[in-house]
């Protein structure tokens, strides 16, 4: 019995803890599990989740992308500014192209040149923060004539009672899951993350695979920026600050290994949802907003410890 309990905790310890947390919050506040609150949480995590879908590709190769928060800020500023200049359709096209281009820069530096992904994406984070201020002149931007544009549909509308951002997030997750599970490219991603040396000897171009994961990360961040701009109908110069840690925390919480080769989009969706409900539950219980950051820190530390312990077979040593 004791061995079975240890096995359960080793495989699903975080999920068990999450279920206990849900039960505790639900007993203390009736609004927590209401349909309205659940949809609100899903709407809130859709931006983080959209980014996490792309970053999951990167993490599966054993790399990191810490630039997505600053990239979200820049791309949101771009989509709002270009909406005022060129209209919503052209603004979205420009934003997605910019996201792919920024991802390609990371991909070249990490995949083809072979630089450390942590250093490259931290440097890109700093570069993008400066680029945002240069592009916007240090001023916030807002969509003019916000009441007259159909652009608001991506962040504020609903489809059959489900918020459009949630629909977009789940659709992107479904496409990404299909790519990882049923395509040659998906198998290459797992191969590179599992054993890059062996994958090279198997004929996989690991540099090309890593490059495209960063392009995908840039693309999904562009989609997240469209949702963000549509929801807020404007953009501040710090609107994406901290998102990179929330994205990473959700991915790790879902069980995708930072060492690469293990994980899935489904796990990422679950992890992002879990993190969203944890943060929402803390607010409903009356905790200050900054407690969310403390919990995010704890989630990252515990999840990484469990991941490394499971990999080494010493979690209960």
Residue 10: per-residue pLDDT:
58
Q: Give the pLDDT band (50/70/90) at residue 289.
A: confident
Residue 310: per-residue pLDDT:
60
Q: Give the pLDDT band (50/70/90) at residue 25.
A: confident
- Do the beta carbons of residue 76 and residue 235 sit within 8 Å? yes
Percent of the chain residues past pLDDT 70, beyond the cut = 91
Domains in the chain with CATH codes? 30-311 (1.10.3470)
What confidence tens digit (pLDDT) does each residue in 272-287 have?
998 888 888 888 888 8
Mean pLDDT over the full length of the chain: 87
Residues counted in the chain:
317
Residue 201: per-residue pLDDT:
84
Q: How far apart are CA 189 and CA 239, in angstroms?
A: 31
Q: Give the pLDDT band (50/70/90) at residue 2.
A: low
Q: How far apart are CA 103 and CA 48, in angstroms?
A: 17
End-to-end CA distance of the chain: 18
What confidence tens digit (pLDDT) does each residue in 203-215 have?
899 999 999 999 9
Q: Give the pLDDT band (50/70/90) at residue 311.
A: low
Q: Give the pLDDT band (50/70/90) at residue 141.
A: confident
Higher pLDDT, 116 or 23: 116
Question: Quick one: which of 105, 231, 218 has its CA closest to 166?
Answer: 231
Name which of 186-190, 262-266, 297-301 the model is least confident about.
297-301
């Amino acid at each position: 019995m004791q061995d079975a309990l240890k096995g359960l905790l080793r495989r699903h310890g975080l999920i068990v803890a999450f279920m206990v947390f849900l039960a505790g919050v639900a007993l203390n506040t009736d609004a927590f599990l209401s349909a309205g609150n659940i949809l609100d949480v899903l709407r809130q995590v859709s931006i983080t989740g959209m980014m996490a879908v792309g970053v999951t590709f990167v993490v599966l190769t054993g790399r990191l992308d810490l630039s997505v928060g600053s990239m979200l800020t820049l791309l949101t500023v771009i989509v709002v500014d270009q909406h005022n200049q060129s209209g919503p359709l052209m603004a979205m096209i420009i934003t997605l192209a910019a996201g792919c281009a920024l991802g390609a820069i990371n991909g070249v530096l990490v995949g083809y040149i072979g630089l450390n992904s942590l250093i490259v994406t931290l440097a890109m984070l700093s570069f993008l923060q400066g680029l945002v201020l240069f592009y916007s002149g240090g001023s916030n931007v807002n969509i003019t004539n916000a009441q007259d544009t159909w652009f608001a549909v991506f962040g504020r509308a609903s489809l059959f009672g489900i918020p459009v951002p949630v629909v977009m997030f789940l659709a992107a997750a479904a496409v990404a899951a299909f790519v990882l599970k049923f395509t040659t490219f998906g198998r290459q991603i797992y191969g590179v993350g599992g054993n890059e040396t062996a994958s090279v000897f198997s004929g996989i171009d690991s540099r090309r695979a890593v490059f495209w994961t960063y392009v995908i990360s840039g693309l999904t961040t562009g989609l997240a920026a469209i949702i963000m701009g549509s929801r807020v109908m404007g953009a501040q110069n710090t609107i994406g600050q901290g998102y990179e840690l929330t994205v990473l925390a959700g991915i790790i919480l879902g069980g995708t290994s930072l060492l690469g080769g293990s994980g899935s989009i489904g796990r990422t969706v679950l992890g992002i949802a879990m993190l969203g409900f944890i943060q929402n539950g803390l607010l409903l219980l009356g905790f200050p907003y900054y407690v969310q950051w403390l919990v995010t820190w704890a989630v990252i530390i515990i999840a990484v410890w469990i991941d490394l312990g499971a990999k080494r077979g010493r979690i209960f040593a």
